[in-house]
Amino acid sequence: MKNPVYTFEKLKFASFEFTCCEGCQLQLANREASLDAFFSLLDVRTFREISSEKHDDYDIAFVEGSISRSDEIERLQVIRKQAKILVAFGTCACFGGVNSLKNRFSTEECIAEVYDGQPIETLPIRKISDIVQVDLSIPGCPVAKEEVERIVVSLATGSLVTLPKYPVCVECKEQLNTCMFDLGEICLGSITRAGCNAVCTSGKTPCLGCRGHADDINFPAFMELVKERGLSVSDLQEKLGFYNAFEAYRDDET
């Protein structure tokens, strides 16, 4: 008796970039070991990092980057109308990312500093969900390749898509790393959603929370830890605002 052959229709996939560095898309394109198998699940319609071909028929859209201009708003709305599933891809798309630091200054200051007074249209930075409905978010700066591949497989096979609920600290302990607090550093690993395999802290760099907050975090206890260690609360606030991923917790006085 022959083994049954299972077939499925490839996902019509498109990837788009807005205000960003395109590093999240490069994460996928550069994963050569699994690239063939990964793209065997997809009918790639638009993805400029790997092909110059462009097609307007797609079912799932990965959107990288934040929104900073009116033409980006219009383009994103067109993508949303076409896509059955729209994925905010990376920290800039999910939270606004490093680009959100621009919002601390006036538009005039930004243009004068970067463009020397040239007429440039720019708006306050917004995340994708501020403009359109987002069906799924994959955070990270950049995204974790293995996580994205797992999620795409789930989408292709109709399986449940999940993100870790626990914090980066769990992954950090699995790596047997020395706690950054013990090294005198403020680290957001205990309040940040896992999924990156603690890549920053494994390199002795404190977590800056690019994946947003984990579920059910105890932020008051985290604040007490910072104070007990004699670390700077103002430095903590700066770290919380770096990716704009902890809006609800910035300037908390608890």
Do 191 and 114 lie in a common domain? no
Q: Is residue 163 part of a domain?
A: no
Do 182 and 222 lie in a common domain? yes
Residue 172 in tokens: 């950090």
Mean residue pLDDT across the chain: 91
Element (H, E) at 71: helix 70-82
Least reliable range by pLDDT among 5-9, 37-41, 75-79, 224-228? 5-9
Contacts of 33 (CB under 8 A, 6+ apart): none
Q: Residue 173 belongs to what domain range?
A: 168-249
- How many folded domains does the chain comprise? 2
Q: Is residue 56 part of a domain?
A: yes
Q: Residue 159's pLDDT band (boundaries 50, 70, 90)?
A: confident
Percentage of the chain exceeding pLDDT 70: 95
Last residue of a domain, one of 137, 157, 177: 157
Do 66 and 177 lie in a common domain? no
pLDDT above 90 for 4 = no
Q: Is residue 4 part of a domain?
A: no
Rounded to two decimals, the pTM is 0.89
Do 22 and 81 lie in a common domain? yes
Do 150 and 92 lie in a common domain? yes
Residue 159 in tokens: 């399986």
